[in-house]
Every structure is written in C-alpha cells, then in structure tokens.
Structure 1
Amino acid sequence: MCGIIGIYNNSNINKQLFYGLNCLQHRGQESCGMSISDGDKLIRRNGMGLVIDVFKPNILEELNGNIGIGHVRYSTAGGSYDYNTQPLLAYTKGEQISLSHNGNLINYQILKARLEEDGMMFQTTIDSEVILYLITRYNKGDIVEAIKETMKRIVGAYSIVVMLKDKLIAVRDPHGIRPLVMGNLENGTIFASENAAIEILGGNFTRDVAPGEIVVVDKDGEHSYMFEHKTKKSHCIFEHVYFARNDATLDDINSYMFRRRSGKILWKEAPCDVDLVVPVPDSGYPSAIGYSQESGIPLAEGLVKNRYMGRTFIKPTQEEREIAVKLKLNPLSHVVKDKRIVLIDDSIVRGTTSRNLIQNLRNAGAKEVHMRITAPPVKYSCYYGIDTPSRKNLIAASMSIDEIRELIGADSLSFISIDGMTQAARIGGENLCKACFDGEYPIDPCLV
C-alpha cells in the first residue's frame, strides 16, 4: 500500500514532488525517495524515514529538473531496509530508467528465480526490481512495447510510474487493484496514488488511469495505450475502509462518503443502546458521524489523537504496533466517565488496537464499551499489497465474533455485512476486490 507520484512539467518540480509525497505519507512511513530528470541525466535521492526528515532543503537543492517520480514505502514484499527504498534506478540501452511501484506481484519468486538462472544479479529483495529488469530486458527502443511485454508476464497488483530522461509513464494492472489517478497542473501532468497530491499543488483531477492502461507524457503531450489482455475490474475496497485519506476519490468512490454511509448502514444492521458514539480517529470519524446521524445518539470525542504518531497498522512489527497504539490515542476521561459508549472503528485485523483501546477506556471510567466495525471480519490473506501474508495474523480467521469480543474485552461486538459494505460503495460489488473478507480472489494465488 505504498504511495507513488509522477510529475511532468515545464519548470523545476523538486518542491512539487516534496509536497505531493507529503500528501501521500499516510500510505507508507518506512522510507521515501525521488528521482528527477534534468533533461540529460536522472538524479535519485532515497532514505529511511519520513519525507520531511529525508528531504532537507540542502537535499532538495540537489534535485533540479522538470520530470520526476517519488515513492513512500510500506513494506510487503521484501523487508524494511535501506536497499529496498524506491524509486529504483537502472540503465537500459545506454539510458537511465527509474521506477516506483505500489502493489504486490504474486509470481515474483518464480520470475526472480528465472532471471537469476539467466545470470541477473539483484540489488534488492523487492518485487519491484523484477518489473524494472523485465522492462529493460524487453526494451528494443520502444518503451511502450517493453512495458506491454512485461505486463504479459507479471501477475498481481501494480500501479507504476516510470521515468526516462525525456518522458514520464504511468501503468496500472489490468484488474485496477491499486489506485492511480491523473491530473493537470498549470504547465504539466501529474500522476499519484490519491487525488490529494494533485489538489494540494493547485492541479485539477482529470480521471483515474484505467485498468490495463499505459499513459506516456513527453514533449508532444499525453498518449494513451491499452494492454490487450482484458479482465474484470477489481478495485481494492480496503483502500476506502482504511488506507485512503478521507478526501480521496478513487475509481468513483469518495472515501469520506463511503465511510459515512457505512456508519449509517451499520446502525441499521447492529443498533446499540448507549449514551455516546465515540470514533477511533481518523478513518473512524466519518463512520461514527453516520452511525450517530442515523441513530440520533450524540457523537463525542472520547479519544484524543497524538497527531505526531503514524498509523499503527503499518508498523512493521507487532511490538511496535502495540507501543504505537498507547502513544497514539488517549481516552478523554471527562467525556467517557460513567457513560455507555459505542466505539466505531474501520476494521479489526490483528486485534491489537481494539484490545488496548477498550481497556484504556474502561480505565478512564467508561461504564460499558461496545464496538461496531464498518468492515466485515478480515478472514483471508491479501496477496496484492497489504501486509497480511499469513492467516495466522488475522484474528477473524481463527475466532468467532463472540471469541473476538471476549478477547478484546468489549461488551458487544458487531461488524458490517459484506452486502452492507458493498452497498456503501455504490459502484457494484462485481467491480470490487473483497478477497480479504470473502476469500474470492480476482487472481488465484494457487494458479501461479
């Protein structure tokens, strides 16, 4: 669930890339990087940590050019190491090429083994490097054809921005699992994982990059090409459940409106006799508003968020996640003391956050703590870019709802139904990937 950005403009874009990456920081906090072309060569700067910490003013001054790509990383394939930071940079046919990737290939290990048998040496442990190597291998002077040949061989989720010294290319997998949007700047074009990166730069969102589409931007303008292999669109619903910002509109779904509708539907499916509706910040807020509006129960801020903490789910280890929960959210005892509350959250994946929050709320004096979740139970592993490779990490894969309720210490627990979640999306369930909830994978991992 990384964040990617690409900009083609008529002026220096280093600060635009910097601000755009900051808008995508919620999608990955382990590392970040930029590659920029000055028309002659590509310059890359990467580092571990947040965008604002890696790209100090003196580093930005080294990056001058009118074409650039960027990346913020949340690790799935590979580990959280400096050598796995993106964008990647390589040479092909005497010229440089740089690539940023969001998603996950499910046939990565097979492809890597074949490339190693052919004598390829890898500098990273990430699947993105396989994509870069394949593009360079099939590049006979036509980069679009090289990308199409690569797309014939890679299987899984991928939204990609690729840069040569004189052009910017955006690519999205045929299922459209991971998001990629495009927009116009005053003198150029921008691609990003979410539209906030476009809007903060004063640009205008134009459209989503279509599943299977290759968009090339160069001195002659924008050019669109379609990968010939047609397949069913399967946009990841978990983007709107958890990862995307509230202001994101991806594949015709606005995350805020989706979450608010989910809260309203959840009240109809699982009402609760309580005094207050309390959201878990931040993605739980719109759902709590919907739950409160539909039920007439007052909404209250019962948890105060430390705005300087990152997202707990995407911390790389369980120990770090547990510490982060305690540092991130603190109960407001003057609000919850002697009150029956219903806690609204977006999901329960491992149960770490829920268990700690409920205990902290009880310690703060809450009389009852009920929990309502605006996503169905996460029962199945995701192979397309969410860090749940093993079902043993998913609490709902091995426990009933009542067992989960007992473990996290809630007075009651209910999840929205899959039908209710699909209804909230309003684009038709056949266009959504819900595999983490129902086990129906758009690309069967067992067939690769």
Structure 2
Amino acid sequence: MFATVLIANRGEIALRVVRTCREMGIRTVVAHSTADRDSAAVRAADAAVQIGPAAPKGSYLSIPAVIEAARAAGAQAVHPGYGFLSEDADFAEVCAANDLVFIGPPPEVMARLGDKAAARREMASYGLPVLPGSAGTVNSLAEAAEVVDRIGYPVIIKAAAGGGGRGMSVVRSARELGRAYRATRAAAQAVFGDGRVYLERFCDQARHVEVQVLADRHGTVLHLGERDCSVQRRHQKLVEEAPAPNLPDALRAEMAAAAVAGARAAGYVGAGTFEFLVADDGFHFMEINCRIQVEHPVTEMVTGLDLVREQIRIAAGLPLKAGQHDVRPRGVALECRVNAEDPAREYAPAPGTLDEFVPPGGPFTRVDTHGYAGWRVTSDYDSLLAKVIVWAPDRLHAIARMRRALAEFRVAGRGVRTTIPALDRVLDEPDFIAGVHGTDLLSRMTQETP
C-alpha cells in the first residue's frame, strides 16, 4: 500500500479523500492554490503544498506544478478527485513517467474513452445500444446538416472532449442549427481546448440513469447498481438517488450487464461510471466517466462500500475483495447538491464569505462539504458548497428525511445564496415524489412558476 498520496484537487472531494486515506493509515498531502491555503482539506491533511495562484490554469490544471508537488512530498500516488486533471490522459502518462501511480484507469484507456464520440463508437462495437447520431465527430456545418437530415430533430450537439454537463446545445429546428453548431464548437474549444463536436438524437423526456462499476487489475469487474440523475438544470445534476425509481427489474439488470461488459471489453481499471439515457424504447449509452463521480455517496450509502478506498486499493494492485454476489444494495439514498448559486437569478454564481454555516445532522444523514463559518466562497471554482445525503428504508421516507435535513441547513453570508430553495421545490414536485420525472423536470417547473 502507498505510504503517501498527493491529492490534486480541492473542495469537498479533497477532504473526502483525506478522510479515507487517514482511515487506511496513508499520509496525505494536499496540493492547493493561494485561494485555498486555509481550506478544510488543507487543515485536515498531514501536509500541504501551495502550487500556484487561484486561477486553475496556474495551479490545479498545471501538470508540472502538480508533479513537482508530488515529488517534493515523497508521494507514491496521486488522487485527482473529479474535474481538473482527473480525466486527463496526458497527466496520467506524466505521472507514470515520474514513477507516480495515477489513481484512475490506465492512460491509454482514458485517452480512448475520454473522447466521447470515440467512446460512443467503441461501445456500439461491443453491442451497447446508442442513440442515432453521427458516426464520429462532425467537422463542418454541412456534415452536421447531413446527420440531422438522417436522424431528424431535435438533436443535441456535444463536445467530444466534454464532461460535467458542459459543451452541449439542444437544436430543435434548421433555423437554430448553424448558430448552435458554431457556439458549441467555440465553447468546447474555450473550456476543453478541443473544438470537436458530435451529434445525437435528443430525447425530451428521457431519464438519466448511470451504472457504477469497479474493475481491478486481476480481471474482476463489478457493478454496484445504478443511480438516477435526472434532476438537472442545463445538463448539470442537482439531485441524485440510488436505486433508480420505477425502473423495471429486467431493464435494471440489462443496463448493469451492459456496463460490466463494456468495462471488461475496454480494459477498464478503477472506479468508473457508465451513463445511459432511458427512454420509451429502452436504454442508450451516452458516455463513460473515468473518475469518481460527485454523486458517488448515494451508491456508498446503499452498498456500504467506500468507493475512494476501493479506488486506492485497485491502484495499489490489490484485488477486489467482493464478488458480484456480495453487492446487495439496501434501501434508498438521495443526494442534494447545495451550490453557491441564486436560483432566483437563473442560478447565477453567488460567492461571498460564510458568516454562518451549520450543516444538518441526525439519523442516516451525511454531509460532504468543505464549508465552514469564515470560509470565503470564490468565483474561481465550481460553485458546489455541500452535498447532503440521506438514507432510508424506502423512497418516501428518504424524501421526508431530505426535507428535514435541508430545513436544518443554515447558510448565511453577504452575497451568498444557495440552491436550497430550488431543491425544496423539487422535493415537493408531484412527479418527483412519484418517481416518474425525466431530465425536463426542472425546466417544466420553471415554466409553471408564476
């Protein structure tokens, strides 16, 4: 096992990794920017290394800075968390060249699957169902128009190097195609440094359901059940749950088997997530996330497995202890993302200093957060402030517990607003309570609000 792990991330996920490493007897070193020198993760870690300014390009996205920090810290491995360098195959290769273990899939696997268009094509070759769309990336507006002529409207244009719900545009008519195509390419280039895009048919009332997998270096591939992530605004998830409600058992099993087969065929190693759209005609593969997911706690709550621990053990070359028959999800878990955003202003970022920050507690209630009274929420990074996760024996009980937990959450500060009011409205929405909602839930709620 590793003696020291460098954590190349920030916020709640950095603190989450610190805590698991401490339980495993592993020394932790947090690489941080100037803006995060007083973060909860830095305070909790055994050591910390400042690697650059607040701007991510000079710190959390700087491969030389992270590598130098790992070498200076005497680390044997690097945990990238999610976001930043977590799905950067070049970074994983540089880690290997510097005798550092990247806690994630092999660089060559990540390079293939990180290209969303290529991953879609590869999974289709393994027999996973995909939505009608382009065979690969489209390199001109004329090519995009040809695809649309074949599959019809509406379509969604996606960045090939995209992730995290960014770099997507829904197009419903020929009049919108040219503008959306150019805008998506420009956004993809700006955000990911790669302007390539591809097209798929867009499903208005589909559900977003994903399957968590674990794969070790000894040939074992497991699925840990599925999560429903259909509550989204602008393709950004707000509420997640496990298991997915009202999913036929046969479809549930078929999706899990497809994820395991895809991971095995691709040579996947580590923790990964297969994302699917579920529509009236069945399920369709969308993409693979080659990292730990923001919403991983709901899977942990229903399975009892620590996914970060499993990531670290797999990276250290150890076999998975569990077999598929040992994975027996129990009950229902919900997660609500509390972001420093103002729902009344179209979820505009709402940074500021936290004068009061009191997370909820109580039975079967977990809060993953890096916030504390006095912490400055900046606009330099993602707006995620906390994740409230609850577990209950059944879904209605879980919803009631989440309502209670959010009501207890006290957050105040000049300029600071959170998504808690929007989350409350979701939890009271009849379609959500019935578990029959799709990815259009939040947009429909917004249209219905007087």
Short-chain TM bin: under 0.3
- Structure number with greater Rg is 1
TM-score (norm 1): 0.25
TM-score (norm 2): 0.25
